[in-house]
Chains A and B, each alone.
Chain A
Amino acid sequence: MRDTAVVSYAQSPCLAANRRDDMADILLPVIRAAVDAVGIERDEIDFYASGSHDFFEGRTFAYIESLDAVGAWPPISESHVEMDAAWAFAEAWSWLQLGQGDIALVYGIGRGSLPQDLDQVMPAQLDPYFLAPLRPHRDAVAGLQACAAIDAGLTSEQHMAEIVSRCLASATENPYAQTSGQVSVHDLLAAPYVSSPLRKHDVSPPGDAAAVVVLAAGDAARRLTARPAWVRAVDHRMDTHYPGMRDLTSSGSTRIAAGRAADLAGFAAADVEVAELHTEYSHQEPLLAMALGLNGAEINPSGGPLAGRPATATGLVRIGEAARQILDGRAGRTLAHATNGPALQHNLVCLLEGAA
């Protein structure tokens, strides 16, 4: 396997709704920050990969607008995934493994605020024959999963509120967080349900932001930064589309991806100091910690998605935050998790390490 590392990461502040900037305007300063941090020119970038979704934009081929922030003339080598940009990261990492270039830039742009009502949009991701016609609202499937997780003894409403309280407190240190603060568990539990047993704070707040990761291979990575965050493994697995076919209380796809990643990396999720998890809902934290086999790792020191969920950039933000722990010298081994689909249908695990 070719040594490949995250050498730079930048993001824009998560906003509940950015009504000022178009896609390119949100993205351009973030690309500049990520590229300037490692002192490269854009003609040194061999490959671009991005993730976004037309259903959040309300236009076909919406991401083309974001290429205005890349500078696609003269023509560039470029690819896009119609999903969270963590999967664009997986593609760029695979592309670098092929050895056709040394530097790749990955970006995610998510604008969860453009749909006027996510309840109109989110059912479109469900099975079109048996579930979508029922038009469950945006948090309905997650509510079923949370209820099952509590019944299975994995968590409780009290425990979920504790997770939210911890994440919002951590997010006070994160200038890019959408929401943060010192909130008591008692106050959180006094809030009404939005999808029982989920309360509003149990649902990560959707919004708008962009994230950019620069990946480099071998000597290029060593040249660009003092402490590259070496990507030791990326793996992703998918559960079946129909949630009724799954045991919602255990994420088999996460478990398999974590096992395969450990085989590739030579160390496991149990060995990491920090884990950034794509928790769209508070109850998913214990569920993922169990499936990954975390062993005492600090979870979501950035505040995680419960402090801000920019659609289709949230997973890439996890990778960026996990890498930043290593780039800044705060951790030696970290893990990033990303998800797509309803109730943790599709899961990606990335293991990062500081030592060359």
Chain B
Amino acid sequence: MSLPEPVTTMASPFRMDYTYVAGVGRSVFLRGLAERRLLARRCPGCAQVYLPPPEFCSRCLSELEAPFELDGLGAVSTFCVVNFPFPGQTIEPPYVVAYIQVHGAGTRLMHLVREVEPERVRIGMAVEPVWAPDDQLTTSLKSIQHFRPVRGADA
């Protein structure tokens, strides 16, 4: 006589909806994106330049200085090639995810690098932002569609 089959799984799906509060500092950055502006802020204590900037320097706890605009030109600081599919993925793999060292910023910005074969991407490559068309600009990093190599640059 065999034992009854044990219950091995049960479905209990949760759905939870949240409000995201960006805070004062990050709101300045997000609003800038909707105007195609990359807004950075400098710490008066240690001169670190944050992009995106919070309200306070996380090292000195000083309030950051007034926002100023960067042109978005930068270099690939590090990158990886995403080769696998996963639920919710919006881009067909393979594609490149990179840390971008935007010139003038002390922190790195994570974004896509496209308009280039993944095998040609390398650390140090000069890149520039590709902004979304006017009707797609929003208070989100999606206002930058991706970064791409600077044409003619030999970085």
Q: Which residues of A contact B (CB under 8 A)?
A: 17-25, 28, 42, 55, 57-59, 67-69, 71-73, 111, 113-117, 120-121, 123-124, 128-129, 132-133
Once A22-B26, A58-B16, A120-B15 are accepted as A-B contacts, the answer to whether A69 and B21 lie under 8 Å apart by CB is no
Task: Find residues 1-52 in chain B having any chain A CB closer than 8 Å to their own CB.
Answer: 10, 12, 14-26
| B17 and A117 contact, CB distance less than 8 A | yes
Q: Which 4 residue pairs are nearest across A and B when measured between Cβ atoms?
A: A22-B23, A58-B18, A68-B58, A116-B17
Q: How far is the CA of A129 from the CA of B23 in the complex (A)?
A: 38
Contact B12 A128 (CB under 8 A): yes
A24 and B56 form a contact (CB under 8 A): yes
- Per the bound structure, the CA–CA distance linking A28 and B55 in Å amounts to 11
Complex partner residue of B19 from A25, A73, A114, CB under 8 angstroms:
A114
In the complex, are the beta carbons of B59 and A71 less than 8 A apart?
yes
Across the interface, name the chain A residue whose C-beta is closest to B12: A133
Report yes or no: A115 in contact with B17, Cβ–Cβ below 8 A: yes
Known contacts A24-B23, A25-B23, A71 near B58 by CB under 8 Å: yes
In the complex, A190 Cα to B56 Cα: how many Å? 48
Please state if A72 and B58 are interface contacts (CB–CB under 8 Å): yes
A115–chain B nearest beta-carbon distance, Å: 6
Is the beta-carbon distance between A120 and B17 smaller than 8 angstroms? yes
Complex CA–CA separation, A113 to B21 (angstroms): 10
Q: At the interface, yes or no: B155 with Cβ under 8 Å from chain A?
A: no
B123 within 8 A of A: no
Say which residue of A22, A28, A121, A132 sits within 8 Å of B16 (CB atoms). A121
A72 to B60, CA, bound (A): 9
| Beta-carbon nearest neighbor of B46 in chain A | A73
Which of A23, A25, A116 has the largest count of B CB atoms less than 10 A from its CB?
A25
Whether A124 pairs with B21 at a CB distance below 8 angstroms is: no
A69 to B20, CA, bound (A): 19
Q: How far is the CA of A166 from the CA of B36 in the complex (A)?
A: 55
When distances are taken between beta carbons in the complex, the residues of chain B under 8 Å from A128 are: 12
Shortest Cβ distance from residue B29 to the other chain A in the assembled complex, whole angstroms? 12
Whole-angstrom CA separation of A21 from B54 in the bound complex:
11
Q: Is the CB of B18 within 8 A of A57?
A: yes
* Docked pose: A57 CA to B21 CA in angstroms: 10
Residues of chain B within 8 A (CB-CB) of A17 are 19
> What residues on B are CB-neighbors of A59 within 8 Å?
18
- B153 at interface (Cβ–Cβ under 8 A)? no
B61 contacts A by Cβ under 8 Å? yes
CB pair B21–A19 under 8 Å, yes or no, is: yes
Report the minimal beta-carbon distance from B132 to chain A, rounded to whole angstroms.
25
**Least Cβ–Cβ distance between A241 and chain B, in angstroms:** 16
| Residues from chain B with Cβ under 8 Å of A115 in the complex | 16-18
The answer for the CA separation of A182 and B17 in the assembled complex, in Å, is 35
- Give, as a whole number of angstroms, the nearest-CB distance from B20 to chain A: 8
Q: Which residues of A contact B20 (CB under 8 A)?
A: 58, 114
Contact (Cβ within 8 A) A24 B55: yes
A residues near B16, Cβ cutoff 8 Å: 55, 58, 115, 120-121, 124
Is the pair A71, B61 in contact by a Cβ cutoff of 8 Å? yes
